[in-house]
Amino acid sequence: MNPLSQLGSPSFLLLSLFIISFATYMMFIMQWRRKPSGTQVSASNCIAAALVFTLGLWTMHVVLLLASDFMMDIRWTLAINFAITTFLVFLSLRYYHSGRLPVRLAEVISALLMVGGVACLHYFSILSHSINRLEFNIPLVAVSFLLGFAGCYAAFVLMRRPAQWRYAAASFVAGLGSLTMHAVGMFALTVEYRHVMTLDRLNQFLMLLAFILCILVLLIITFSYTTWLGMKKYTQIDERYKLLVENSTDTIAIIVEGKWEYLNPSGLRLFEAEREDELVGHCIFKLLHGGKHLEMQTWLQQTPDGREYALRPIELQWQTLRGNPILTEMVRIRATYDGKQVEQVMIRDISERKRNEQLYVNAEKLSIAGQLAAGVAHEIRNPLTSLKGFMQLLATGRIQDQQYLPLMRSELSRIESTVTELLMLSKPQALELRRNNLRELLSECTAAVGAQAKAQRVRIQHRFDPAPAWVLGVAVQLKQAFINVMKNAVEAMPDGGLLLIELKRGDPDTHLVTVADNGSGMPEEQLAKLGQPFYSTKDKGTGLGLLVTYKIIDNHDGKIAIDSVLGGGTTLRFTLPAISQPDDSDS
């Protein structure tokens, strides 16, 4: 048998090439254009595409058989052969789109599976029970397999390209590879049949072929229509995407392996680029400030964990293509694009915001400095004026005894107290943290204010949990904080009253200290000003005592909450971190 006798007819070869190329084109269209970028192709799409390709492949096979001396035999085994080929093509497409394998390895495996399906349909369809003798030319079989593999692999590589012509080019290459595999495979076989193909049987096969071609045309039209509907849907989605991304005032970009893969128009304007190719494909570190390279590398290597991490911004300093510095805030989300893990980032220019914030901070510092200077001048000038008057009296000799010396000492102590509190607020305190029992500290504090409370007929009541309450801190500073608020509470009850000191466990990790009085209380406008420098509700108060208390508790990782009811008293609640009870060795 010489299959070359009619195989060389250009009409049959062109028809076969057109059929398989068109089927391959429809297979690619049904996958790539029916999904958004970066998403996985569904199994149903792969099955439908595999069916279309296998149907076109079988039709091409039949046309080539009609153009040769090989006998065409339609049997039930054809359905099994058809199913096996469809399954192999389906696996090929799934591996190609899986994204779990390296790109080149996925392309090789997919090409091997597809060429395996093509070989299965070709060789198993020719073999039938009516064969009397069969011979294989192994080198030609190997050549046919290599040609088919080369065509499939080249098609899969071309489909990675972003160009629009990739569909036509990949379809033609894959179709040509399948056609040459069939043609060379037919030369590799020498078949001797037991029966001769009669004209009646040939007409039956031609009628069957015409019926199958009609079914094929209907299927292709149906798939084409559904593909057109899908393309129309995703065209609408693409228009919405352009409204969100292309017109966004923030930079939206995609980073792949440390290089810019995509930037929207705002990104080009941010980096002062005139064309997209000035940035796309270039390393992101080229424009990043040198001191931020390590921070950026660490940030990109970390694995995002949840939405909270994804929305956590990082501030980076860049320079534009023209060398102008810009300060940005960037957030990222890790995604999959074209089978690869990419970083989708949003970059916002915060240079102007940072300048405004710095101006605001400077203005706030000047305002605070002015208020502090005025407060210090007021608190120190008053006792200095008194001292100046006493010194003038001493200089004139009008004072002969020492009756004014206690007053002078009192004014000096007032100045010293004010300066000491200012120093505590102005410089960081070196903390030597040790274990302390709050029960003992509070008992010492109530003893320190006991005389003043007794003089003002204020009764002190304790409510302490029996268990020790251990905290980590500086005992002297904690006592100063508690004594400050206890003195304020006693002074708020000039006609006597009740001072409640309560200590209990707030939750498993904290201790709660409550200092409550039943004095006159404060209105909300006064309560909002507590803790401001030199604001006090007392006639001779500086307002620094409560400010020092706030700082001490904050240095001990604690919190203060104040409640006050006008005519019902004031309550302060301190929350301090609890620690475990020390061992005997620690004691």
pLDDT tens profile 62-117: 777 776 666 666 666 677 888 888 899 999 888 888 777 788 888 899 889 998 88
Is beta strand 434-437 parallel, antiparallel or unpaired with respect to 325-337? unpaired
Beta bridge partners of 151: none
Beta bridge partners of 561: 573
Q: How confident is the model at residue 128 (pLDDT cuts 50, 70, 90)?
A: low
Secondary structure of residue 358 in the 3-state scheme: helix
Domains of the chain and CATH, by start: 4-239 (no CATH), 251-349 (3.30.450.20), 354-426 (1.10.287), 434-577 (3.30.565.10)
Is residue 3 over pLDDT 60?
no
* Residue with the larger pLDDT of the pair 202 and 446: 446
Tokens of 309: 């991490």
Note whether 441 and 406 are within 8 A (CB).
Answer: no
Q: How confident is the model at residue 36 (pLDDT cuts 50, 70, 90)?
A: very low
**Mean pLDDT, range 132-155, rounded to an integer:** 84
Q: Which residues of 192-206 are buried (b: 16+ CB within 10 A; e: fewer)?
A: ebeeeeeeeeeeebe
C-alpha to C-alpha distance for 234 and 218, rounded to whole angstroms: 24
Q: In the chain, what percentage of residues exceed pLDDT 70? A: 72
Is residue 390 over pLDDT 90?
no
Is residue 368 over pLDDT 90?
no
* Residue with the larger pLDDT of the pair 185 and 539: 185
Cα dist. 333→246, 306, 345 in Å? 18, 10, 6
Q: How confident is the model at residue 585 (pLDDT cuts 50, 70, 90)?
A: very low
Tell which phi-psi region holds residue 569, choosing left (phi > 0), alpha (psi between -120 and 50) or beta: left
**Mean pLDDT, range 151-168, rounded to an integer:** 83
* Residue with the larger pLDDT of the pair 566 and 124: 566
Q: Nearest to residue 9, comparing CAs of 68, 52, 51?
A: 68
Tokens of 14: 């062109």
Query: What phi and psi, each to the nearest 5 degrees, are found at residue 304?
Result: -60, 135
Say which residue the tokens 């980032």 belong to.
345
Give the lowest-confidence range in 194-198, 250-254, 484-488.
194-198
Secondary structure of residue 512 in the 3-state scheme: strand
| pLDDT tens, residue by residue, 408-420 | 776 777 677 667 6
Tell which phi-psi region holds residue 519, choosing left (phi > 0), alpha (psi between -120 and 50) or beta: beta
**Which amino acid, 382?**
N
Task: State the pTM of this model.
Answer: 0.41
Which of the residue ranges 59-63, 205-209, 309-313 has the most confident prediction, judged by mean pLDDT? 59-63
Q: In the chain, what percentage of residues exceed pLDDT 90? A: 7
Number of H helices, E strands in the chain: 18, 14
Residue 227 has a pLDDT of 67
Q: How confident is the model at residue 37 (pLDDT cuts 50, 70, 90)?
A: very low
Residue 499 has a pLDDT of 92
Tokens of 502: 């309560």
Neighbours of 184 (CB within 10 A): 19
The chain-wide mean pLDDT, for the chain, equals 78
* Residue with the larger pLDDT of the pair 266 and 161: 266
**Mean pLDDT, range 340-362, rounded to an integer:** 84
Residue 587 has a pLDDT of 40
